[in-house]
Structure 1
């Protein structure tokens, strides 16, 4: 009798599990005239003097046999332009608060060397400096975002940098710029005042940094260029809500263009897990950390709303991404890691969060662009490949400067060893030409998910789709198989009388376009 009861219970449990896996998620999209525009700068990137990001990545020198423009690789420029890169943050990161910009101008053979104390203890020869970076941004069609030195620099030094890059009249710094070969200013808009002031930028308290920010910001002015400059405060470390509270309370809003937030998806800072040979448990814990971004953005936004209800100050998530142990056999200080389907899912879900909070989040910077952490590009001498994260950023570029379409749904759960995460992530927008784009992510490592969307009121007739997926979570693009994971046509949906019925495979990213 007990055996029969047990069998009946197991059959019932299996049926319930089957029902849960085949349950349809109903997603509602709203045409809201008051919805914000998704700022293109949410899709920004980050280039630090770290490992092979600059040297051996972006910059190979003008004597290299690798095709380049003034030392910058042409293939990387082409790939990033295709990505519609809107902005690029430089020179750090931790490196920013040891960087003195005047070391990186003038004839290269006369530039002093320094030791990169943060990343690998390597000698930095300053051959890639202000002119090289800002000219590269012009090639990319991207806004430069300069991270100023507060930790070991001076107010005068940062004020001079603003004048050097932005002032067209006669002044000591504009004269120096012209002497170094650049007549017209670059008109740099985005300026970070220090980096991670709570840590490598000086181990400051929030109260102390707020005072330093006010001092530095006071002497950074640009009366000549329309709109002036956007001054960005070094923001909190993940869930340090007190940091945001102190900054918003103690810094006048007219001095504050943006407040940063840094958050990395890390399993454990002591043991971050393998970059490609990870288990489902490693994947689940990484996504658990990544999806915490929703809570972080919500809570930091609530604090900012107290002091800035009109949302004039932007939240700028200027470092985010997955952080694992370095690839075996590589320099631990260079932070080189492989980029798998896990990273594609992480990127898609994170960008959906940013899109949905576009009222406050108006810039973000994936860490980092080339050969470091969750890179979109990897190089090996003359070879260059793009990663699954690159593919996600490329598909999602349709959201740049499009109007957010707010949505609501109850996500099914992805459960592992008694813990659960939302399995479905989504965001939607309508661009200036009236095209609707819906980005969907299935976080679940094992089960497909069914989604239903009523699209009758969206003013579109036909849909097409692209998908990023692969056979295994651990799959990645290598230099031998560079196109293992690329976007392909997605056909797993039907439009039945104005209702989209979609089946999205496990650990995949889909972007639908309606016209």
Structure 2
């Protein structure tokens, strides 16, 4: 009797400290490809992202480098399988004069970065440096053109300089500067945040400007297939998206951008490390809003483009907090904790599940700025929790999205509720199934049951990113405090997967036939 009573008590404890999540995957109905460009990144001339983060100078003997770019960063980015990298901004893009960043470095004029810290830059990292970096890491370059303060000719010349095979003044100038073959850049942003730092334009005015600039971004032989991306809305500005979709001919519009940051408030962003549950819940609310914004903008795009030919490109997203104490407020340097891993896992699940319209995205930013995947300090470098999530999830790149239905309990805080567990799934070219799960609950583990319908599977493996505290992060003294580990807690029997996902953790499962 005592033993039975004890078992009853233990059962009650388990029931009250974990929650049930039910997922159904129709594994034989995968029809939509998850575009690899959803896993893109963003490198702006901001703080220590470029100088000191990526580029340390060709004469640097203290930090191993290739043509001035850190070797440890090159390796980390190659391992991450970055599909595209956006540069040079951001707000910086609409002040950048690309011709100042080519030719002999000793002859390049200096400039003042008026947007970020008022620092003087020597233009030693320019077009060749960036495009060569992209080649080294296997990423497609995504160039953001200067529409705010540049001219149509400036942007047209840049397109010619990097992509024309030869015979034009710009292609010959490229050859004089040491590059014979063109880079054939396909991804182009026509300005950035035109509603704000890119010129404070109205949507109607920008639509006309876009048409003008896009016209002269020439695709000479129809082989380079320039992919033009319009400066899109911030958050829920649906009127901006409607104006662009209505007023820009879709034959010159490949993508429309969307920017959304997870921020507590723009006046008090809160700490990046010593946050409390109130801070955490607000950030998770903002991260979940990405789903709402994508649905809203997609609905408008469907109205004008029911065949979904125009892509939604979320080319700025991530967590934004107050800078680390004692650092330049214009440099936007912040630490990266398990909270950021939750933003990444949740957001990537959202992108995957909207793969029919979302076909590109860029996490802000790649090194030492905002939600970075890499932090550096002189010769030291570390990988953040966000890096680990992005690497775990790269199994979804170009895989086929598996339709999913999910019923998850709520994560509750002071009477407010959020869905606790998010998930997405895909099938790769070999037929293997990859399932990504993120539990944002601040304190509760969740029992997960996954019904695999349509096909039979027999083998399972997995990885988990978890830690003892939600505030845990990697430092230069403890660079591996938060690290990926093998996960063997999932059991597969008769087409049903069962596992428990701890609070604030990310799991990716690989299931084979």
TM-score by length of 2: 0.96
| Residue in 2 that maps onto 1:270 | 267
Q: What value does the CA root-mean-square deviation take over the aligned residues?
A: 1.3
Give me the whole-angstrom Cα distance separating, in 2, the residues matched to 1:22 and 1:476.
25
Give me the whole-angstrom Cα distance separating, in 1, the residues matched to 2:426 and 2:96.
40
CA contact (8 A) 1:166 1:222 kept: no
Deviations 1:455-512 (A, max 9, x none): 2533321111110000000000000000011110112222232211110000000000
Q: Map of 1:280-299 to 2, 5 A cutoff?
A: 280-299=277-296
The correspondence for 1:348, drawn from 333, 345, 350, is 345
Q: Map of 1:201-212 to 2, 5 A cutoff?
A: 201-212=198-209
CA contact (8 A) 1:190 1:230 kept: yes
Q: Aligned pair 1:448/2:445, yes or no? A: yes
Q: Which runs of 5+ in 2 are unaligned?
A: 1-10
The correspondence for 1:365, drawn from 362, 367, 376, is 362
CA contact (8 A) 1:429 1:437 kept: yes
CA contact (8 A) 2:30 2:426 kept: no
Q: Aligned pair 1:123/2:113, yes or no? A: no
Q: Map of 1:312-461 to 2, 5 A cutoff?
A: 312-455=309-452, 457-461=454-458
SS in 2 for 1:455: strand
The correspondence for 1:77, drawn from 74, 81, 86, is 74
Q: Aligned pair 1:165/2:179, yes or no? A: no
Give me the whole-angstrom Cα distance separating, in 2, the residues matched to 1:466 and 1:391.
10
| Residue in 1 that maps onto 2:56 | 60
CA contact (8 A) 1:148 1:191 kept: yes
Give me the whole-angstrom Cα distance separating, in 2, the residues matched to 1:399 and 1:187.
26
| Residue in 2 that maps onto 1:215 | 212
SS in 1 for 2:153: helix
SS in 2 for 1:355: helix
Query: Per-residue deviation at 1:94?
Result: 0.2
| Residue in 2 that maps onto 1:35 | 31
CA contact (8 A) 1:221 1:228 kept: no
Query: Per-residue deviation at 1:34?
Result: 5.9
SS in 2 for 1:393: helix
- Pick closer, same or farther for the CA change 1:249–1:32 going to 2, 3 Å: farther
Give me the whole-angstrom Cα distance separating, in 2, the residues matched to 1:322 and 1:485.
18
SS in 1 for 2:454: helix
Query: Per-residue deviation at 1:24?
Result: 2.1
The correspondence for 1:247, drawn from 224, 233, 244, is 244
CA contact (8 A) 1:51 1:336 kept: yes
| Residue in 1 that maps onto 2:86 | 89
Query: Per-residue deviation at 1:222?
Result: 1.5
CA contact (8 A) 1:167 1:224 kept: no
Deviations 1:174-221 (A, max 9, x none): 010011111100000000000000000000010110000000001111
Deviations 1:376-400 (A, max 9, x none): 0000000000000000000000000
| Residue in 1 that maps onto 2:6 | none
Q: Which runs of 4+ in 1 moved over 6 A?
A: 15-18
Query: Per-residue deviation at 1:17?
Result: 10
| Residue in 1 that maps onto 2:488 | 491
- Pick closer, same or farther for the CA change 1:487–1:84 going to 2, 3 Å: same
TM-score by length of 1: 0.96
CA contact (8 A) 1:187 1:225 kept: no
CA contact (8 A) 2:28 2:455 kept: no
- Pick closer, same or farther for the CA change 1:504–1:33 going to 2, 3 Å: closer
Deviations 1:39-93 (A, max 9, x none): 0000000000000000001000111121111101111010010000100000000
Give me the whole-angstrom Cα distance separating, in 2, the residues matched to 1:231 and 1:345.
31
The correspondence for 1:133, drawn from 114, 130, 149, is 130
SS in 2 for 1:471: coil
CA contact (8 A) 1:38 1:402 kept: yes
Give me the whole-angstrom Cα distance separating, in 1, the residues matched to 2:91 and 2:378.
26
Deviations 1:373-430 (A, max 9, x none): 0000000000000000000000000000000001001221000001110000000000
Give me the whole-angstrom Cα distance separating, in 2, the residues matched to 1:269 and 1:54.
25
| Residue in 2 that maps onto 1:506 | 503
Give me the whole-angstrom Cα distance separating, in 2, the residues matched to 1:514 and 1:16.
32
Give me the whole-angstrom Cα distance separating, in 2, the residues matched to 1:459 and 1:305.
36
Query: Per-residue deviation at 1:19?
Result: 4.8
Count of matched residue pairs: 501
SS in 2 for 1:458: coil
- Pick closer, same or farther for the CA change 1:326–1:502 going to 2, 3 Å: same
Give me the whole-angstrom Cα distance separating, in 2, the residues matched to 1:312 and 1:408.
26
The correspondence for 2:479, drawn from 456, 475, 482, is 482
Give me the whole-angstrom Cα distance separating, in 2, the residues matched to 1:432 and 1:496.
24
Give me the whole-angstrom Cα distance separating, in 1, the residues matched to 2:18 and 2:167.
69
